[in-house]
Amino acid sequence: MSYNLLKGKRGIIFGALDENSIAWKTAERAHEEGASFVLTNAPVALRMGTINTLAEKTNSEVIPADATKVEDLENLIEKSQEILGGKIDFVLHSIGMSINVRKGKHYTDQNYDWTHKGLDVSAMSFHKLMQTLHKKDAMNEWGSIVALTYMAAQRVFPDYNDMADNKAYLESIARSFGYFFGKEKKVRVNTISQSPTPTSAGQGVKGFTGFMNYAEKMSPLGNATALECADYTLTLFSDLTKKVTLQNLFHDGGFSNMGVSQEIMEAMEE
Ligand SMILES: NC(=O)c1ccc[n+]([C@@H]2O[C@H](COP(=O)([O-])OP(=O)(O)OC[C@H]3O[C@@H](n4cnc5c(N)ncnc54)[C@H](O)[C@@H]3O)[C@@H](O)[C@H]2O)c1
């Protein structure tokens, strides 16, 4: 169902790799809700993925940008405004990557070059993106910027590895930059802390299936899907949430406030 929630709004969506990606679902839903937007991803991901299918479906253009490179971001933001015909109303940062996770390097035995790279891609890129938008005065008043995160920023999930630290940094950047963006440009900045979701990035985490099943059993409403995350993200892009900013918003079926559930108790008694 569509409500024209984003009618006339212009956006930039990072991170649609394939149809499982949270950003992919967000782009499909944003299109249904009347938005126009530019899709972007790292050049290497554009070669591997199927983003052109999404671009055709949503009538949008694709501009490559490595989110760790300020010159790529500058080009992206300039071209997006030209293509879309004005300043930007919403931006989705849906980017995450840890080489330590990918290569199975334990948290107590980090390769720091990889740690550094993961931090740059997963967290500092959010600062670079917002700094570029801010310097170029590219956001419309009452615009909205969202990044995706995970609860390992607050609590221990051993196999989440250095991504836990990256997410803590990402959430802090949202608050710190959100202050200046709010004061100066009336732009809001939030993070959405999403349930484990079967995507490329999600399934890269060791023991992901066990992790997902556990969260499913712990959450009174069950895990939130990628499509549900897209829907929640759209509410933050809409005019219905104008005074929500500097928040880390849990979108996890209730998991983050649970101690234990009946299902887990029963499983432990077996
Ligand atoms: N899947 C989960 O369980 C889960 C849970 C909570 C939060 N998240 C977060 O959601 C976001 C989206 O991930 P997803 O699960 O949809 O997986 P995904 O693998 O589909 O998306 C990750 C994206 O990051 C992009 N990316 C990597 N390096 C980049 C770079 N240098 N520049 C630009 N883009 C780059 C990838 O190309 C990919 O499109 C991430 O921030 C992830 O941490 C995921």
Classified by CATH at the fold level, domain 10-269 comes out as Rossmann fold (3.40.50)
In the three-class reduction of DSSP (H, G, I as helix; E, B as strand; rest coil), residue 179 is classed as helix
Is 96 a pocket residue for ligand 1 (Cβ < 6 Å)? yes
Where are the domains positioned within the chain? 10-269
The count of other CB atoms within 10 Å of the CB of residue 263 is 13
Write out pLDDT tens, residues 158-207.
999 999 999 999 999 999 999 999 999 999 999 999 999 999 888 888 88
Tokens of 93: 């940062």
pTM for the complete prediction?
0.98
Write out pLDDT tens, residues 18-65.
999 999 999 999 999 999 999 999 999 998 879 999 999 999 999 999
pLDDT value at residue 201: 86
Give the chain's mean pLDDT.
97
The beta strands (E) that lie in the chain are given as 10-14, 36-40, 61-62, 88-93, 139-149, 188-194, 248-251
C-alpha distances out from residue 70 to 73, 88, 139, 171, Å: 5, 18, 17, 20
Write out pLDDT tens, residues 65-87.
999 999 999 999 999 999 999 99
More confident: 186 or 211: 186
pLDDT exceeds 90 at position 136:
yes
Is 94 a pocket residue for ligand 1 (Cβ < 6 Å)? yes
- The protein residue with its alpha carbon nearest to ligand 1, atom 38, reads 15
Please tell me the distance between residue 269's alpha carbon and the centre of ligand 1 in angstroms: 37
CA dist., res. 33 & res. 208, Å (int): 32
Please tell me the distance between residue 17's alpha carbon and the centre of ligand 1 in angstroms: 8
